[in-house]
């Protein structure tokens, strides 16, 4: 009999345990919110409202220097708010793939993560970004360059903290082949390069770069509110631009490069005297060209008898806060800390990334960089990268076919590409 | 002993699925009808039948498990299953409170959790019913034992059977649980996703999912559904998947046998050394080999540099294999579809042949020496022996392995993806408009569609189609190859 009683007791304990474990697919939301004093300083009231350990996870770029720099900032952050008990973990996640990892399971993603701004629309749609409705330590909108703030804004609402403003492409060239005036026009460059027996490298098989040609001629390719792209590359000057690319490539001096890696390899082998690339390859190219290293905005090109300034995509690295975080407030304070003026200055020194913060960008150290000068020139002819997934493959194929000169019916090819790009 | 043997080999009467199925419920009916009061009470509290036969402990455990499960059913499974039809109705809403730094979240429905929980609940219900039926039969068996005056195990004895006559249960519990949790349940969830609208515009927990029936399947098979050229790309990819699977399987198979025969043949000095060389290629992880190959054969890779210097590029241009305006051989870059397909198969041979060589070496060592011997005495040439005895022997022994290889090649993600991702750009605008490449297999295309576009619903649909294709092929080949039980011809 005793046995039975014990067994019954056990059964009951198990029942309660089992019941406690099930929440029937519902997430009981809410937190201890509510009783908050209306103190003037939100940061102070946040500190007052905090009890226990604040656990945060941060995902920063997997580049070693960036990881080290972020860790330094986190340590300094802990020291600054020493009254609060923090448990901050740093993970590595490339900005270019952050969206994929975050969207796999938003609730399991980091509290604070950095990402490239072209991912912002999808992240906002999936509810993976906390709206920046308050500045705890500084005014994000006022402190950063307008272009960077735009890049962090969706439907008029700021959703992330700008961290860098250097993600674009511009021209790297060898000063022993081209003068500063030469690089203003692609036609001049072709003449000079030909005389020197060198080539000019451009990644035509990559939609990101190809965009610059068509955008230069005033043509559009962007994501509309309906969720589909709009693109008019097959109208107006479009066929002329396509013909121009084919002609430049057929002539032989302007050549297609496979990817970022081959840009550097090509320069090292002495094939290329100029390549269109981004700041990530700058140090490798500086090493190769030494004192002859030059950086400038993209050149002008001729299409259908007209001269156009080549455009580019411009994007920023942003820091976002996950709304599913347990400590959204502290995550926001940390995100502010990781992107404030001092952090951006030290990031430029230690990691080499160009700041989006206006004061940081105006500092003499930053201004002295040839890359930053070229970027700030190029951003006058740059558009934020707002384009849906259907853009990449058709545009890459278009660029590749044009560079290989295999297109007989340019208008037909453009029509077909545009149909693919704009498909819902 | 004799009895056991007859169970293994002698039983000719086939137990068909239908018969087993009918018998299963007939036994249950008999148990309920002929059972005494204790058995009938077991229909309500499952332990009763054991209480009546003095198996107190077993009865308690079984009853407790039953009660626990019913509680689980009422408090967890039923609420979830109630939402299963709609996959939830309450949209997530968040309000941020700057002063406390917390988001105030409403009591929302997470569609994906509901989906997972419901499927798990249905599965546990199914398992419970099986167990319930089994229990009644068990209890009835006890009743029969008692009526026949046979001894009934006490609890200790019952436990001891789990290291005795019931040892297979003890052994298989953990693996079975693992397979169910890791394979079976996720599979059901993924199949269910094919019937929902789970894509980049409907991502839980932020938005709710809903059922769409066979809509996704219709989209797949109606042209212009998923992308404007979907039908075109699907057809091309399916046909290349089959060509690839056939060619990749047989080149590796034949190459492996040839290599094994070559190394085993007399006159080859240091056969062990040669074999070891090929083994080393196995020791290097496959993805390392593939990434290296990819870099060797890039447009600006080392092979292209060598080929240009050696005049191979000009030679290919002269015979028309490379277009005149190209400054490189488009091994993997998609300037020419033929080159890329050829290279992928070639590289796959390099990666796959050593494995096949190993297997073939083992098979050859067990080749029927008596037959070879007598053929030789009868004056057959080496060539005849090879084609008439060794090859048929290898085909029979390796048949099932070949089919497995074929199915694996249909899904050979590594080789295709690692060699072509970001390197191969299609020239066919119709393919590009569907995010497809000529060298894609169904799986790599599926991966790109999910990973880059978050199109989970369509990925599930394609996954189901690939599964059906593989199943169909495996069944047909097995029944063909195994017909007539050729294996016995070579036994003894």
Q: Measure the CA–CA gap between A354 and B453, rounded to whole angstroms.
A: 30
Query: Does any CB of chain A come closer than 8 Å to the CB of residue B426?
Result: yes
B282 and B199 co-located in one domain: no
Averaged pLDDT of chain A: 87
B238 and B190 co-located in one domain: no
- Using CB atoms and an 8 Å cut-off, which of residues 98-117 of chain A contact chain B? 100, 103, 106-107
Strand pairing report for A153-154 and A382-384: unpaired
Tell me, what's the ipTM? 0.74
B230 and B110 co-located in one domain: no
* Among candidates B94, B107, B327 on the partner chain, residue whose Cβ is nearest the Cβ of A26: B107
Contacts of A398 in chain B (CB under 8 A): 429, 432
Interchain CB distance below 8 Å, A103 and B203: yes
- Structure token digits, residue B388: 């008439």
The shortest C-alpha distance from B101 to chain A (Å) reads 3
Of the residues B184, B213, B242, the one at which a domain ends: B213
Averaged pLDDT of chain B: 86
Partners of A295 in beta bridges? A172
Does the pLDDT at position A14 exceed 90? no
How many CA within 13 A on the CB side of residue A364? 0
Does the pLDDT at position A21 exceed 70? no
Q: State the pLDDT at residue B224.
A: 56
Query: Does any CB of chain A come closer than 8 Å to the CB of residue B435?
Result: yes
**Domain spans of chain A, in order of start:** 52-166+315-367, 172-314+377-421
Q: Measure the CA–CA gap between B49 and B45, rounded to whole angstroms.
A: 9
- Using CB atoms and an 8 Å cut-off, which of residues 239-298 of chain A contact chain B? 250, 255, 257-259, 262, 265-266
- Using CB atoms and an 8 Å cut-off, which of residues 148-167 of chain A contact chain B? none
Q: Measure the CA–CA gap between B142 and B52, rounded to whole angstroms.
A: 10
Interchain CB distance below 8 Å, A18 and B64: no
Q: State the pLDDT at residue A109.
A: 93
- Residue A141 burial (CB count, 10 A): 15
pLDDT, tens only, A382-421:
988 888 888 999 999 999 999 988 888 999 999 999 999 9
B254 and B277 co-located in one domain: yes
Find, among A165, A132, A144, the residue nearest to A331 by Cα. A132
B393 and B462 co-located in one domain: yes
The shortest C-alpha distance from B414 to chain A (Å) reads 20
Query: Does any CB of chain A come closer than 8 Å to the CB of residue B314?
Result: no
B37 and B138 co-located in one domain: yes
**Average pLDDT, integer, range B179-190:** 92
B88-97, B325-334, B374-383: range with lowest mean pLDDT: B325-334
Query: Does any CB of chain A come closer than 8 Å to the CB of residue B207?
Result: yes
Q: State the pLDDT at residue A22.
A: 40
Query: Could you tell me which chain B residue has the CA closest to the CA of A407?
Result: B427
Interchain CB distance below 8 Å, A19 and B75: yes
Strand pairing report for A26-27 and A85-92: unpaired
Q: State the pLDDT at residue A273.
A: 94
CA torsion B304-B310-B313-B316 (nearest 10°) is -130
* Among candidates B72, B423, B433 on the partner chain, residue whose Cβ is nearest the Cβ of A394: B433
Interchain CB distance below 8 Å, A107 and B205: yes
pLDDT band at B153, cuts 50/70/90?
confident
Of the residues B213, B244, B264, the one at which a domain ends: B213
Q: State the pLDDT at residue B15.
A: 65
- Residue B50 burial (CB count, 10 A): 26
**Does the predicted TM-score (pTM) go above 0.80?**
no
pLDDT, tens only, B44-65:
899 888 888 888 888 999 999 9
B113 and B238 co-located in one domain: no
Express as a percent the part of chain B with pLDDT over 90: 30
- Using CB atoms and an 8 Å cut-off, which of residues 26-55 of chain A contact chain B? 26-33, 36-39, 42, 45-46, 49-50
| Residue B196 placed within a domain | yes
* Among candidates B67, B207, B300 on the partner chain, residue whose Cβ is nearest the Cβ of A266: B300
A23-27, A244-248, A291-295, B171-175: range with lowest mean pLDDT: A23-27
User: How many cross-chain Cβ pairs, A to B, lie less than 8 Å apart?
Assistant: 210
B281 and B396 co-located in one domain: yes
Query: Could you tell me which chain B residue has the CA closest to the CA of A255?
Result: B327
> Which CATH number do you get for residue B454?
1.10.3720.10
The total number of structural domains in chain B stands at: 2
CA angle A322, A323, A325 (to 5 degrees): 70
Q: State the pLDDT at residue A12.
A: 46
B230 and B193 co-located in one domain: no
Find, among A26, A29, A21, the residue nearest to B82 by Cα. A26
**Average pLDDT, integer, range A62-81:** 93
DSSP letter for B125, please.
H
pLDDT band at B223, cuts 50/70/90?
low
B199 and B277 co-located in one domain: no
Of the residues B178, B197, B213, the one at which a domain ends: B213
- Domain span holding position B49: 16-213
pLDDT, tens only, A324-354:
999 999 999 999 999 999 999 999 999 888 9
Does the pLDDT at position B225 exceed 80? no
Interchain CB distance below 8 Å, A24 and B117: yes
Q: Which CATH number fits domain A172-314+377-421: 2.60.40.10, 3.40.50.300, 3.40.190.10, 1.10.10.60?
A: 3.40.190.10
| Residue B272 placed within a domain | yes
Does the pLDDT at position A29 exceed 60? no
Q: State the pLDDT at residue A228.
A: 85
Q: Where are the alpha helices (DSSP H) in A272-391?
A: 282-289, 328-339, 341-350, 358-362, 364-367, 370-378
User: Exposed, middle or buried, B139 (CB in 10 Å: 0-12/13-18/19+)?
Assistant: buried
DSSP letter for A354, please.
P
B368 and B416 co-located in one domain: yes
Strand pairing report for A153-154 and A112-116: unpaired
DSSP letter for A405, please.
T
Does the pLDDT at position B252 exceed 50? yes
Residue A307, helix vs strand vs coil = strand
Contacts of B94 in chain A (CB under 8 A): 323
Q: Measure the CA–CA gap between B431 and A417, rounded to whole angstroms.
A: 11
Q: A52-166+315-367, what's its fold?
A: D-Maltodextrin-Binding Protein; domain 2 (3.40.190)
| Residue B207 placed within a domain | yes
- Using CB atoms and an 8 Å cut-off, which of residues 323-342 of chain B contact chain A? 323, 325-327, 333-335
Interchain CB distance below 8 Å, B432 and A332: no
B203 and B241 co-located in one domain: no
* Among candidates A49, A332, A401 on the partner chain, residue whose Cβ is nearest the Cβ of B427: A401
Interchain CB distance below 8 Å, A14 and B428: no
Q: State the pLDDT at residue B8.
A: 44
Which residue in A1, A21, A393 has the most chain B C-beta atoms within 10 A of its own C-beta, making it the best mutation to test that interface? A393
Task: Decide whether A52-166+315-367 matches A172-314+377-421 in CATH topology.
Answer: yes
| Residue B60 placed within a domain | yes
Find, among A203, A188, A199, A205, the residue nearest to A269 by Cα. A199
Does the pLDDT at position B155 exceed 80? yes
The shortest C-alpha distance from A354 to chain B (Å) reads 27
Query: Does any CB of chain A come closer than 8 Å to the CB of residue B65?
Result: no
């Amino acid at each position: 009999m005793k046995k039975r009683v014990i067994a019954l007791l056990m059964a009951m304990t198990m029942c309660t345990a089992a019941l406690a474990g099930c929440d029937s697919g519902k997430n009981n939301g809410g937190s201890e919110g509510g009783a908050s004093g209306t103190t003037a300083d939100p940061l102070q009231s946040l500190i007052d409202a905090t009890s226990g350990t604040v656990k945060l996870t941060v995902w920063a770029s997997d580049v070693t220097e960036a990881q080290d720099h972020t860790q330094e900032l986190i340590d300094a952050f802990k020291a600054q708010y020493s009254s609060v008990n923090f448990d901050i973990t740093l993970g590595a996640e490339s900005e270019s793939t952050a969206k994929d990892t975050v969207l796999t399971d938003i609730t399991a993603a980091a509290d604070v993560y950095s990402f490239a701004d072209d991912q912002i629309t999808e992240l906002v749609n999936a509810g993976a970004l906390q709206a920046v409705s308050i500045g705890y330590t500084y005014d994000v909108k006022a402190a950063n360059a307008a272009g960077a703030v735009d890049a962090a804004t969706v439907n008029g609402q700021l959703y992330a903290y700008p961290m860098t403003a250097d993600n674009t492409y511009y021209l790297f060239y060898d000063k022993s082949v081209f003068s500063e005036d030469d690089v203003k026009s692609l036609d001049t460059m072709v003449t000079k390069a030909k005389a020197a027996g060198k080539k000019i490298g451009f990644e035509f098989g990559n939609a990101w770069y190809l965009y610059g040609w068509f955008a230069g001629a005033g043509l559009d390719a962007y994501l509309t509110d309906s969720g589909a792209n709009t693109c008019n590359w097959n109208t107006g000057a479009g066929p002329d631009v396509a013909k121009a690319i084919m002609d430049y490539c057929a002539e032989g001096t302007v050549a297609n490069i496979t990817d970022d890696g081959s840009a550097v390899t090509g320069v090292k082998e002495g094939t290329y005297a100029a390549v269109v690339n981004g700041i990530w390859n700058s140090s490798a190219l500086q090493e190769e060209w030494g004192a002859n290293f030059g950086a400038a905005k993209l050149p002008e090109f001729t299409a259908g008898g007209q001269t156009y300034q080549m455009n580019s995509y411009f994007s920023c690295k942003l820091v976002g806060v996950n709304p599913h975080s347990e400590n959204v407030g502290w995550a926001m304070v940390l995100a502010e800390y990781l992107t404030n003026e001092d952090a951006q200055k030290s990031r430029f020194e230690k990691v080499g990334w160009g700041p989006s913060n206006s004061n940081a960008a105006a500092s003499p150290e930053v201004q002295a960089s040839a890359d930053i000068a070229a970027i700030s020139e190029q951003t006058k002819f740059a558009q934020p990268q707002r384009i849906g997934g259907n853009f990449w493959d058709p545009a890459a194929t278009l660029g590749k076919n044009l560079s290989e000169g295999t297109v007989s019916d340019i208008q037909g090819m453009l029509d077909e590409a545009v149909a693919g790009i704009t498909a819902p | 002993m004799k009895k056991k043997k007859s169970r293994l080999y002698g039983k000719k009467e086939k137990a068909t699925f239908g018969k087993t199925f009918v018998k299963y419920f007939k036994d249950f009916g008999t148990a309920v009808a002929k059972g005494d009061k204790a058995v009938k009470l077991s229909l309500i509290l499952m332990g009763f039948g054991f209480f009546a036969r003095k198996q107190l402990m077993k009865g308690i455990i079984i009853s407790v498990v039953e009660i626990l499960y019913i509680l689980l059913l009422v408090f967890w499974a039923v609420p979830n299953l109630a939402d299963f039809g709609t996959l939830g109705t309450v949209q997530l809403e968040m309000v941020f409170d700057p002063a406390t730094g917390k988001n105030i979240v409403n009591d929302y429905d997470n569609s994906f959790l509901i989906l997972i929980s419901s499927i798990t609940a249905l599965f546990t219900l199914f398992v419970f019913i099986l167990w319930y039926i089994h229990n009644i039969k068990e209890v009835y068996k006890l009743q029969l034992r008692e009526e026949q005056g046979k001894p009934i195990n006490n609890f200790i004895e019952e436990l001891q059977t789990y290291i005795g006559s019931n040892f297979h249960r003890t052994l298989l519990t953990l693996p079975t649980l693992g397979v169910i949790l890791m394979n079976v349940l996720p599979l059901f969830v993924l199949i269910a996703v094919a019937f929902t609208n789970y894509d980049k515009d409907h991502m839980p927990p932020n938005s709710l999912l809903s059922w769409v029936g066979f809509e996704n399947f219709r989209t797949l098979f109606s042209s212009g559904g998923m992308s404007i050229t979907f039908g075109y790309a699907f057809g091309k990819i399916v046909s290349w998947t089959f060509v690839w699977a056939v060619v990749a399987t047989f080149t590796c198979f034949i190459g492996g046998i040839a290599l094994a025969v070559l190394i085993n043949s007399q006159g080859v000095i240091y056969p062990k050394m040669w074999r070891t060389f090929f083994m080393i290629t196995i020791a290097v992880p496959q993805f390392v080999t593939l990434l290296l190959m990819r870099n060797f054969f890039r447009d600006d890779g080392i092979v292209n540099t060598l080929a240009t210097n050696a005049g191979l590029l000009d030679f290919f241009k002269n015979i028309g294999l490379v277009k005149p305006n190209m400054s490189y051989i488009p091994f993997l870059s998609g300037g020419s579809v033929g080159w890329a397909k050829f290279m992928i198969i070639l590289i796959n041979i390099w990666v796959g042949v050593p494995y096949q060589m190993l297997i073939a070496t083992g098979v050859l060592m067990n080749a029927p020496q008596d037959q070879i011997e007598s053929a030789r005495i009868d004056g057959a040439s080496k060539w005849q022996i090879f084609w008439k005895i060794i090859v048929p022997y290898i085909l029979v022994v390796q048949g099932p392995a070949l089919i497995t290889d074929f199915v694996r090649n249909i899904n050979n993600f590594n080789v295709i993806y690692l060699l072509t991702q970001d390197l191969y750009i299609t020239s066919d605008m119709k393919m590009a408009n569907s995010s497809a490449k000529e060298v894609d297999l169904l799986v790599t295309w599926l991966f790109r569609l999910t990973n880059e576009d978050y199109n989970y619903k369509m990925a599930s649909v394609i996954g189901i189609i690939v599964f059906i294709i593989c199943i169909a092929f495996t069944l047909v080949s097995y029944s063909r190859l195994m017909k007539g039980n050729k294996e016995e011809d070579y036994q003894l």
